[in-house]
Amino acid sequence: MSKATANSKTHEWILFRRILGLAKFQRHWIILAVLLTILQSIVTALQPYIYKTIIDSVIIPKQFQFLDKWALFLLGWLFLQAILGFTNTYLSESIAQSVIVKLRQYVYDHLIRLKLSFYDKTPIGTAVTRSISDIQTITDLFSAGIITIAGDIIQIVVILACMFYMDTTLTLITLSVLPLLLFAANRFRKGIRDTFQDVRSQIAKINAFLQERITGMQIVQLFNREKEEKRRFDSINQAHRDANIRSIYYYAIFFPVVEVLVAVCFAMIIWYGSGSLVKGSIEFGELTAFIMFINLFFRPIRAIADRFNNIQMGIVAAERIFKLIDDEKNKEHSPVKKAPILQGDIKFERVWLAYQEENWVLKDISFHLKAGKTMAIIGATGSGKTSIASLVNQLYTQQKGEILLDGLPIQSMNIVSIRQQIALVLQDVFLFSGSINDNIRLHSDTIDSQKMIAAARSIGAYTFIENLPGGFEYNVMERGMTLSLGQRQLISFIRALAFDPRIILLDEATSSIDTETEQLIQRAIDRLLENRTAIVIAHRLSTIAKADEILVLEKGEIIESGNHSELLAAGGHYANLHSILQ
Return the domain boundaries, the chain.
12-330, 346-581
Q: Which of 70-79, 120-129, 251-260, 460-469 has the lowest mean pLDDT?
A: 120-129
Determine the Cα–Cα distance for residues 457 and 463; give it in Å rounded to an integer. Answer: 8
With the C-alpha atoms ordered 145, 148, 149, 150, is the resulting torsion angle positive or negative?
A: positive
CATH superfamily of 12-330: ABC transporter type 1, transmembrane domain (1.20.1560.10)
pLDDT tens by residue, 458-481: 878 888 888 889 888 988 887 777
User: How many residues appear in the chain?
Assistant: 582
Q: Which of 412-416, 442-446, 572-576 has the lowest mean pLDDT?
A: 442-446
The reported pLDDT for the residue numbered 355 is: 86
The reported pLDDT for the residue numbered 4 is: 52
Residue of higher predicted confidence among 176 and 357: 176
The reported pLDDT for the residue numbered 370 is: 93
The reported pLDDT for the residue numbered 523 is: 79
In this prediction, residue 375 has a pLDDT band, given cuts at 50, 70 and 90, of very high
The per-residue pLDDT of the chain, averaged, comes to: 82
Dihedral of CA atoms 423, 428, 429, 433 in degrees, nearest 10, equals -140
CATH superfamily of 346-581: P-loop containing nucleotide triphosphate hydrolases (3.40.50.300)
Element (DSSP H or E) covering residue 409: strand 408-409
Reference 36, options 81, 78, 79; nearest CA is 81
Q: Which residues are CB-neighbours of 328 under 8 A, at least 6 positions away?
A: none
